[in-house]
């Protein structure tokens, strides 16, 4: 059997004394190919069962028909769909969507190029794309390592900046193989942006705000769209590790597709981890921290994680939609709230880039702490 122990990603971090350090992180795809029947020590978590786990949600999260939200739709049906959107987003911070206008063939093309890339040998993947730890952790490899002691996630990643145009200029972060990888993903991103714009307008309307209350921060010329491909290989001991550490998203909205397997995504609700029922023919949308701030807490970003599975592999593609880093976002006042005063539990203005720097500096944490940065003092 071929030995894959020599394959690793390099991750840079700063130690507590302020010294730059580099960590060699094992490539989980190669560990899985090796057919391990044990879990390497660096992936083992001592408190993996901090909260009890329920096998599935006691009730399903809402499935939103995007076509019914569009102008010109039948009024009664549209009003019902807006109601579903508001209740689902308020209760869960996420929802499923269907009839969104992105064709099945385009989604299949995304699946084909992603699987094509991860089907390459490790050497070919490294030759195909660069890796930049200091620039939004873009490129191919495991990221967000902060010490040699922290437990590692059972995941391989690929991250690109798809917008604005030129945002990745001079960086080799798009795979050259498959040759149509960038073309396929950029086509998907363009369509996905339209869907997220529609959803942001509908969310504002559903909460009785001006339709552009959220979208006004996302200029199509300079707003940002990061693409993160997550690959979760089969894991020999799913009970001892995680595919992705508990977190919220530092975005306005995140749009996800998954393929090959389901059952990996969990949300913390009422102090229990609940496995999301996520049918393969739907896309999933979740609220990010920036939208929680913009909505002044009407919408809340969900605390979520990914678990591993023993005998199956799972892929997901996440699109993170953000204003430019220099933009200042402002919470929408709540009813009966003075314009010049914030409620105790409300938020204050924050510059997107400042918030994201803070977000990544304090992450990961054991609970939702990063957003306290934007709370009204």
Q: Rounded to an integer, what distance in angstroms lies between the CA atom of residue 78 and that of residue 330?
A: 28
Give which of 228, 227, 229, 231 is closest to 156, Cα–Cα. 231
Distance of CA 96 to the CA centre of its chain: 14
pLDDT tens digit sequence for 247-291: 999 999 999 999 998 889 999 988 889 999 898 889 999 999 999
What pLDDT band is residue 4 in, cutting at 50, 70 and 90? very low
Structure tokens at 146: 């902060």
- Which residue ranges make up each domain of the chain? 42-328
Query: What are all long-range contacts of 337-344, with beta carbons under 8 Å and residues at least 24 apart?
Result: 342/376, 343/296, 343/376, 344/376
Query: Does 233 or 138 have the greater pLDDT score?
Result: 233
d(CA 20, CA 22): 7
Distance CA 116, CA 327 (A): 37
Q: Identify any residues that bridge with 244 across adjacent strands, giving them in sequence order.
A: 306
* pLDDT of the residue at 8: 87
What pLDDT was estimated at residue 10? 79
Residue 340: band (very low, low, confident or very high) from pLDDT cuts 50, 70, 90? very low
How many Cα atoms within 13 Å fall on the side-chain side of residue 199? Answer: 32
List, for residues 7-39, the tens digit of each pLDDT value: 888 777 777 787 888 888 899 999 999 888 889
SS3 track for the chain: CCCCCCCEEEEEEECCCCCEEEEEEECHHHHHHCCCCCCCHHHCCCCCCCCCEECCCCCCCCEEEHHHHCCCCCHHHHHHHHHHHHHHHHHHCEEEEECCCCCHHHHHHHHHHHHHHHCCCHHHHHHHCCEECCCCCEEECCCCCCCCCCCCCCCEEEEEEEECCCCCCCCCCCCCCCCCHHHHHHHHHHHHHHHHHHHHHHHHHHCCCCCCCCHHHCCCCCCEEEEEEEEECCCCCHHHCCCEEEECCCCCEEEEEEECCCCCEEEEECCEEEECCCCCCCEEEEECHHHHHHCCCCCCCCCEEECCCCCCCEEEEEEEEECCCCCEECCCCCCCCCCCCCCCCCECCEEHHHHHHHHHHHCCCCCCCHHHHHECC
Mean pLDDT within 42-49: 78
* Residue count (the chain): 377
Q: CA geometry: angle at 9 spanning 4 and 233, to 5°? A: 60
What pLDDT, on a 0 to 100 scale, did the predictor assign at position 338?
43
Q: CA 79 to CA 135: how far, in whole Å?
A: 43
Euclidean distance between CA atoms 109 and 128, whole angstroms:
19
Separation between Cα atoms, residue 133 and residue 143, nearest integer Å: 7
**How far is the C-alpha of 36 from the C-alpha of 308, rounded, in Å?**
15
Task: Write down the pLDDT at residue 2.
Answer: 39
For residue 252, what are its two tokens?
């306005």
pLDDT classification of 359: cutoffs 50, 70, 90: very high
Beta-bridge partners for 159: 139, 228
Average pLDDT over residues 147-174: 86
- pLDDT over 80 (residue 364): no
Choices 3.40.1710.10, 2.60.120.330, 2.60.120.260, 2.40.50.140: CATH for 42-328: 2.60.120.330
Ranking 94-98, 262-266, 292-296, 346-350 by mean pLDDT, the lowest is 262-266
The residue among 221 and 14 whose pLDDT is bigger is 221
């Amino acid at each position: 059997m071929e030995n894959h122990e020599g394959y690793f990603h390099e991750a840079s971090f700063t130690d507590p004394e302020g010294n730059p350090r580099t960590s060699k992180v094992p490539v989980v795809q190669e560990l899985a190919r090796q057919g391990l029947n044990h879990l390497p020590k660096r992936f083992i978590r001592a408190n993996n069962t901090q909260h009890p786990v329920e096998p599935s949600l006691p009730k399903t999260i809402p499935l939103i028909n995007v076509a019914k939200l569009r102008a010109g739709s039948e009024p009664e049906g549209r009003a019902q769909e807006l109601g579903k959107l508001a209740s689902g987003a308020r209760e869960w911070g996420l929802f499923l969507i269907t009839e969104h206008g992105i064709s099945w063939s385009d989604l299949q093309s995304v699946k084909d190029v992603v699987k094509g890339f991860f089907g390459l040998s490790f050497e070919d993947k490294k030759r195909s794309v660069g890796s930049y730890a200091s620039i939004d952790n873009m490129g191919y490899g495991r990221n967000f390592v902060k010490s040699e002691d922290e437990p590692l996630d059972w995941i391989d990643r690929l991250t690109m900046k798809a917008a604005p145009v030129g945002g990745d200029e001079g960086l080799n972060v798009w795979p050259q193989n498959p040759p149509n990888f960038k073309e396929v993903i950029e086509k998907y991103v363009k369509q996905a942006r339209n869907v997220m714009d529609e959803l942001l307008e509908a969310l504002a309307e559903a909460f009785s705000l001006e339709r552009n209350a959220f979208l006004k921060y996302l200029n199509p010329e300079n707003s940002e769209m990061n693409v993160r491909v997550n690959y979760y290989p089969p894991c020999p001991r799913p009970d001892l590790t995680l595919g992705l550490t508990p977190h919220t998203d530092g975005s306005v909205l995140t749009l996800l597709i998954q393929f090959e397997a389901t059952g990996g995504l969990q949300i913390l609700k009422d102090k229990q981890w609940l496995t999301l029922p996520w049918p393969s023919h739907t896309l999933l949308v979740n609220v990010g921290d920036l939208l929680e701030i913009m909505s002044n807490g009407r919408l809340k970003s969900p605390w979520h994680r990914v678990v591993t599975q023993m005998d199956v592999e799972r892929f997901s593609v996440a699109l993170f939609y953000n204003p430019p880093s220099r933009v200042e976002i402002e919470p929408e006042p709540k009813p009966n709230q003075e314009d010049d005063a914030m409620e105790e539990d409300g938020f204050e203005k924050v510059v997107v880039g400042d918030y994201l720097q803070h977000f990544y500096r304090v992450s990961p944490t054991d609970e939702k702490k990063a957003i306290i940065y934007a709370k009204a003092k």
